[in-house]
């Protein structure tokens, strides 16, 4: 073999071997990265879904809290709670279910044929006794259980993650769940993205290697002995270029994967994920991050509840006017420390829905004015009914004001009250002096 061919062979063979080794290494690393990425995506999504389930169940518990915490154990109270939970739903396939401690279905809004049946021995397609597992999870305090169940929107049996709690006094297991078929889709998409990035990297390396081989081979044919050093320098530079290209491509793939994931995660999810990683590694900041994330989540939930209640309290629609006013008074007392007495002399069944909303808003506006302007230490709210009208009185022992200045006032609170009363063709009167202010509203009965 001539020297120039030996030079070409000695240059090309190591290059080919190194490229093949790089490709094998990239594929091996890609498999590892693919598994890590899939596990990270899956754990992140599952953590988010667990947090979401807890939020939904907390909302359900708050919905029936007035009934449960009232101490009532009669069948009417329980049936009322079941009706409230049956009407509550979220998303296309989100609902709540209730079983007793013996596995009997008490409420299932999407599969009414199961209600009243003893399902303690029912198993899913994997042989898991579903109701037994849910009861065990609820009693242990963990609450989360993974099993297969029929998805209402498709009718297909799908993986489902549920969260359940025990209502000990009633002997109920209350729970809800989320179908997690999208987790498999997300992990599959993550694997595809990694595989696509690796394939692009390998093709780029192979392309550059092929170009390099052609350049080396073509140059080697024209080389002579005096050009061997130049050829060696070119080959060295070419090898270094391949190494740089490999590192740059890996960096690009890494940035794309990282940025793509970061855009899909919100800050609260990221904080829980960070706390999980730090707890696994034994670092002390994991618990702090977990508490901070929990606190932020609690603040967000609290703010949402507050805004939702201000816009329209759920009790007004579910339980009626009196429980809604009672809750409003309790919250007002806790917030302002103003002793407030609520006297109710009417049955919610006797009050029209529109009138209930009007009365609730008037009381809400009146309490706001007491809090802001009256400097009172006590207030009284009374509702009474007669054959002719419904009467509302709100009284406080504050500093009072001049009612004659109302028409020249720029405030809109009392103006809103007057407009609401006029809408129902009612009467509105207010009297005030130092130490006593009384607002009286009469709304005619239909």
pLDDT at 250 over 50: yes
Rounded CA separation 332/317 (Å): 20
Could you tell me which residue, 233 or 334, shows the higher pLDDT? 334
Angle of helix 75-87 relative to helix 3-69, nearest 10 degrees, comes to 150
Q: Which of 398, 420, 417 is nearest to 409 (CA)?
A: 417
pLDDT tens readout for residues 323-365: 888 888 888 888 888 999 999 887 766 788 888 888 888 998 8
Was domain 314-444 assigned CATH 3.30.565.10?
Answer: yes
CB environment 70-98: b (16+ within 10 A), e (fewer): eebeeeebbebbbebbbebeeeebbbbbb
Check residues 405 and 426 and name the one with the higher pLDDT: 426
Which whole number is the average pLDDT over 149-169?
89
Quick count: other Cβ atoms within 10 Å of Cβ 381?
A: 23
Q: Which CATH number fits domain 1-265: 3.30.420.40, 3.30.56.10, 3.30.200.20, 3.30.450.20?
A: 3.30.450.20
Top-confidence residue, 369 or 269: 369
Judged by phi (left if over 0) then psi (alpha if -120 to 50, else beta), residue 95 lies in beta
Between CA 400 and CA 406, with CA 402 as vertex, the angle to 5 degrees is 115
Q: Is the dihedral of CA 250, 255, 260, 266 positive or negative?
A: positive
Residues 6+ apart with CB under 8 A from 71: none
Q: What is the pLDDT of residue 321?
A: 83
Do residues 204 and 249 make contact, with C-beta atoms less than 8 angstroms apart? yes
Question: CB–CB of 174/164 below 8 Å?
Answer: yes
d(CA 138, CA 136): 5
Average pLDDT of the chain is 79
Residue boundaries of the structural domains of the chain: 1-265, 271-308, 314-444
Contacts of 323 (CB under 8 A, 6+ apart): 66, 315
Please write the tens of the pLDDT for every residue from 24-47: 777 777 777 777 777 787 788 888
- Measured CA to CA, the distance from residue 100 to residue 171 in angstroms comes to 6
State the maximum Cα–Cα separation within the chain, in Å, rounded to a whole number. Answer: 120
State the pLDDT at residue 247: 67
Q: Is the pLDDT confidence value at 56 over 70?
A: yes
Provide mean pLDDT across the span 318-325: 82
Rg of the chain in Å (alpha carbons): 35
Strand partners, 343: 382
CB atoms within 10 A of CB 53: 21
209 by DSSP, 3-state: which? Answer: helix
Q: Is 418 helix (H, G, I), strand (E, B) or coil?
A: helix
Residue 292 has pLDDT above 80, yes or no: no
d(CA 355, CA 357): 5
More confident residue, 433 or 316: 433
Please name the residues in contact with 357: beta carbons below 8 A apart, sequence gap of 6 or more.
316
Task: Please name which of 30, 51, 33, 57 lies closest in space to residue 270, comparing C-alpha atoms.
Answer: 51
Helix, strand or coil, per DSSP, at residue 73: coil
Angle at which helices 285-311 and 3-69 cross, to 10°: 50
Predicted pLDDT at 104: 92
Continuous H helices in 284-343: 285-311, 314-318, 321-336
0.75 surpassed by pTM: no
Q: What pLDDT is recorded for position 249?
A: 45
Residue 163 has pLDDT above 90, yes or no: yes
- Check pLDDT > 70 for residue 260: no
Sequential DSSP letters for 28-41: HHHHHHHHHHHHHH
Q: What pLDDT is attached to residue 262?
A: 40
pLDDT at residue 99 in the model: 93
Q: Which two tokens stand for residue 111?
A: 């599969």
pLDDT at 224 over 60: no
Q: Which two tokens mark 142?
A: 């963990």
DSSP codes, 160-173: EEEEEEEETTTTEE
- Residue closest to 386 by CA, chosen among 350, 336, 356: 350
């Amino acid at each position: 073999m001539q020297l120039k061919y030996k030079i070409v062979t000695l240059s090309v063979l190591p290059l080919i071997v190194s490229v093949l080794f790089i490709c094998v290494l990239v594929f091996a690393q890609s498999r590892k990265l693919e598994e890590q990425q899939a596990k990270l995506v899956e754990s992140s999504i599952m953590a988010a879904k667990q947090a979401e389930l807890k939020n939904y169940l907390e909302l359900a518990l708050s919905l029936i809290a007035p009934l449960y915490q009232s101490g009532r154990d009669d069948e009417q109270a329980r049936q009322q709670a079941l009706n409230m939970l049956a009407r509550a739903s979220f998303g296309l396939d989100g609902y709540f279910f209730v079983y007793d401690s013996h596995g009997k279905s008490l409420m299932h809004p999407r599969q009414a044929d199961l209600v009243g049946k003893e399902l303690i021995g029912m198993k899913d397609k994997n042989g898991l006794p579903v109701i037994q597992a849910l009861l065990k999870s609820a009693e242990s305090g963990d609450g989360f259980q993974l099993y297969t169940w029929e998805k209402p929107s498709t009718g297909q049996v799908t993986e489902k993650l549920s969260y359940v709690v025990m209502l000990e006094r009633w002997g109920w297991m209350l729970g809800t769940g989320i179908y997690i078929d999208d987790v498999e889709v997300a992990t599959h998409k993550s694997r595809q993205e990694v595989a696509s990035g690796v394939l692009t990297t390998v093709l780029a390396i192979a392309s550059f290697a092929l170009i390099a081989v052609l350049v080396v081979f073509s140059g080697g044919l024209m080389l002579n002995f005096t050009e061997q050093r130049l050829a060696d320098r070119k080959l060295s530079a070419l090898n270094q270029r391949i190494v740089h290209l490999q590192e740059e491509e890996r960096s690009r793939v890494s940035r794309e994967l990282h940025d793509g994931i970061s855009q899909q995660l919100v800050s609260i999810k990221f904080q829980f994920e960070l706390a999980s990683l730090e707890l696994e590694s034994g670092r002390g900041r994991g618990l702090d991050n977990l508490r901070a994330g929990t606190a932020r989540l609690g603040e967000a939930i609290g703010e949402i509840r507050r805004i939702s209640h201000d816009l329209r309290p759920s009790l007004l629609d579910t339980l009626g006017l009196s429980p809604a006013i009672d809750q409003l008074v309790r919250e007002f007392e806790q917030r302002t420390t103003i002793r407030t007495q609520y006297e109710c002399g009417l049955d919610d069944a006797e009050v029209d829905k529109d009138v209930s909303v009007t009365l609730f808003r008037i009381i809400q506006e009146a309490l706001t004015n007491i809090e802001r302007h009256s400097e009172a230490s006590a207030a009284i709210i009374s509702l009474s009914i007669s054959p002719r009208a419904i009467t509302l009185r709100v009284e406080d022992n504050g500093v009072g004001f001049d009612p004659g200045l109302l028409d020249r006032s720029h405030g809109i609170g009392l103006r809103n009250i007057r407009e609401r009363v006029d809408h129902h063709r009612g009467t509105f009167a207010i009297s005030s002096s130092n130490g006593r202010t009384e607002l009286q509203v009469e709304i005619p009965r239909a």
